[in-house]
Amino acid sequence: MKTSAWIATTLLLFALGCGLVFGSSYAIDLFGIFHDPSGKRLSVHHNERTAKFFLNERYVPVNFNALLVGGSSTSNFRMDALDFARFYNESLYGSNAVEEKRLVDEALRRGHFRFAVCVINPYLLQSHEFNEGGGIPPRREALGSVNLLREEFYAGMQRLRHSPSSFWPDGGQAMPPSKGRLDTDLEFTFKYDPIALEAFKQTLDELRASGTRIIFLETGVYEPVYQKHRQQFDEFYSIFPLRRADEPLVNFNNPQYATFRNDESLWVDAPHLTDAAAEEESVELNRVIHAEEAELLALPDSQRLKR
């Protein structure tokens, strides 16, 4: 074969290969970007940071009207327990306020959300680095990229094996099992990273400007660890500067929850509940919000936006 013919054949095969990859990715549409995602049950399969960003483009705005903005301490909260809206869980493992802002910004471009439960804890506000890449993945990654191939591979393997996914269509994910006795010697950073704090402020302001009602959530910590660092925890929360007076706070570090927090069997590690315990706490969160915000929950959107 002549060199020119070989080059032409190679380029043709390469083009056909790319076309096959792009075409199959468009048809499969794992993230609901290229086809109407209404009523679909899409989820992360492997890389939650990239996948959730793309899911927030259309899937989240079309199928959900409320958000949980948090980190790994709420990643296994049960969204179906919050019965006053259709919640999507934006929580990421090891997340910070900058990473959460990226997801919320994408969701707000097309969506209107009635409520946002926003977590405040030291982990979300101690750093501002993206844990993967430079932040916003280019849209072409949804058609052809290493990340996409991984997602498609894991999705295919789960179907072939008929194995349940650890990721859920409402954005949550199962927590790994406990590895034994809990480590009570954990160290925490009780300082606000100024960039993370500003990112959280911008996220809250954007939600408020869109008419979203914010409910703050202080996530619990295993009781012996909480008591060991109680002064620092209390000081950290007492100076939190971004909550407005009319925005409710649900605090799972309150004394009334001490017995729950002290049960070692409910924890994977000091800040992370088991899936069963997270479901219990989700039900309690729903109960508290109904009890304290009953009047607000009954308001139609037109009145809620004026408050």
Residue 144 carries which DSSP code? Answer: S
Q: Give percent of the chain above pLDDT 70.
A: 77
In angstroms, how far is CA 122 from the centroid of its own chain?
16
Between CA 217 and CA 240 the distance in angstroms is: 12
Q: Say if domain 64-132+170-304 classifies as CATH 3.40.50.11720.
A: no
Q: Which pTM does this prediction carry?
A: 0.86
- For the chain, helix (H) and strand (E) counts, in that order, are 12, 7
The count of C-alpha atoms lying within 13 angstroms of the C-alpha of 144, restricted to the half-sphere facing its C-beta, is 8
Is the pLDDT score of 232 beyond 80?
yes
Distance CA 16, CA 18 (A): 5
* CB contact at 8 A, 52 and 100: no
Low-confidence winner among 119-128, 145-154, 187-196 (lowest mean pLDDT):
145-154
Q: What is the largest CA-CA distance in the chain?
A: 81
User: Which whole number is the average pLDDT over 12-18?
Assistant: 57
Per-residue model confidence (pLDDT) at position 202 = 97
Residue reference for tokens 């079309």:
62
Indicate the domain borders of the chain. 64-132+170-304
The tens digit of pLDDT for each residue in 163-196 reads 778 889 999 999 988 877 887 777 777 888 999 9
| Model confidence pLDDT, tens digit, residues 86-102 | 999 999 998 899 999 99
State the pairing for strand pair 267-269/272-273: antiparallel
Q: Residue 301's pLDDT band (boundaries 50, 70, 90)?
A: low
Q: Which residues contact 230 (CB under 8 A, 6 or more apart)?
A: none
Query: CA separation (Å) from 203 to 75, 146, 148?
Result: 19, 30, 28
Compare 123 and 131 and report the one with higher pLDDT.
123
Structure tokens at 3: 């060199």
pLDDT at 82: 97
User: Which DSSP string do the residues of 69-84 spell out, in sequence order?
Assistant: E--GGGTT--GGG-TT
